Amino acid sequence: MTKRIVVTGASGLIGRALVGALQMRGDDVVVLPRGSGRESAPTWDPVGGVLEDDILVGADAVVSLNGAGIGDKRWTAQRKEILRSSRIRSVRLVAETMAKMENPPGTLIAGSATGYYGDAGDRLVDERSPPGDDFLAKLCGDWEAAADPGVESGMRVVHARTGIVLSSDGGALTPLLPIFKAGLGGPIAGGSQWWSWITLADEVAALLFLIDGDISGPVNLVSPNPVRQKEFAKALGAALGRPAIVPAPKFAVQARLGRELAEAIGYASQRVAPSVLTEAGFRFASPELDDALAAVFPR
């Protein structure tokens, strides 16, 4: 049955792919770019706290994917505030607006990330695991809490905790690809840390599964097969036809990204299991890294 889905943050990698998939299956998709509507009276402006609820009338679900890129720039105090506000303001505004409606959409899918778990070392974590205590973990916790008005009003709220998304068209691999294509990719800080990943195609399929289903609460959007970073580097190098043996020591990664960002995305260890998805019967098209990278980078 055709659904009406409202998507915010649709200009990002995941948002673009999700909108395309929704349209391809025949759904009525409403995209809310920031400041949409008349310039003098925008219908959607998360910075200004504006969201006209008539946009949401008749929608089956709202998918909120707003957020400045985590790894795009060094984490200065100003950048960290942008990372927080770009996520929390938009989700809170959507949730509060929906909660006040007489007949709101029944579902809110809100973006989040596996950064929620912090650096977990070798410990396998899933949706029942506690949060970490670093900046990214606290950001994810506050990001998810911003949707509480929706939960309190009785609607179905899903927190989509996404890992490293594999795509040739942007996302977490963007800063890595030039290095690997030059044959300079390799283990980061020894490479023993765990990386949890998912293909863009499986990410979108999982979001459609969540939109159509009845799951609520946190859901890890990652492959069931996390790998150590040195294995990831080797597989990515093979997919690109380049060697991946040159190690990248901590000081080099920190010089490029800054200490805090490097710790969060370079050598933090997150061995994450998609327990909720697998228990609900979701089937990954690309559960193994070698096959996934071969699909992302066909040769």
**Which of 18, 9, 24, 62 lies closest to 201 in space, CA to CA?**
18
Give the model's pLDDT for residue 188. Answer: 84
Residue 116 DSSP one-character state:
G
State the Cα–Cα distance between residues 282 and 108, nearest whole angstrom. 19
Specify the residue for token string 């973990």: 137
The bridge status of strand 41-45 relative to strand 36-38 is antiparallel
- CA torsion, points 144, 148, 150, 156, in degrees to nearest 10? 60
pLDDT of residue 34: 64
Residue span of the structural domain in which 280 resides: 4-294
CATH number at residue 107: 3.40.50.720
The pLDDT score that the predictor gives to residue 74 is 87
Q: What's the pTM value of the predicted model, to 2 decimals?
A: 0.94
Report if residue 283 sits inside a domain: yes
Q: Is residue 299 part of a domain?
A: no
In a domain, 202, yes or no: yes
* Number of domains making up the chain: 1
Along the chain (299 residues), what's the average pLDDT of each consecutive run of 10 residues?
94 95 97 63 80 94 93 89 95 96 96 96 97 95 97 97 92 78 81 96 98 98 97 92 78 74 84 98 97 90
- C-alpha–C-alpha distance, residues 24 and 289, integer Å: 27
Position 40 scores a pLDDT of 44
Show the tokens assigned to 77.
Answer: 């105090």
Confirm whether 212 is domain-assigned: yes
Does 181 fall in a domain?
Answer: yes
Establish if 26 belongs to a structural domain: yes
What is the number of residues in the chain? 299
Q: Residue 271 falls within a domain, yes or no?
A: yes
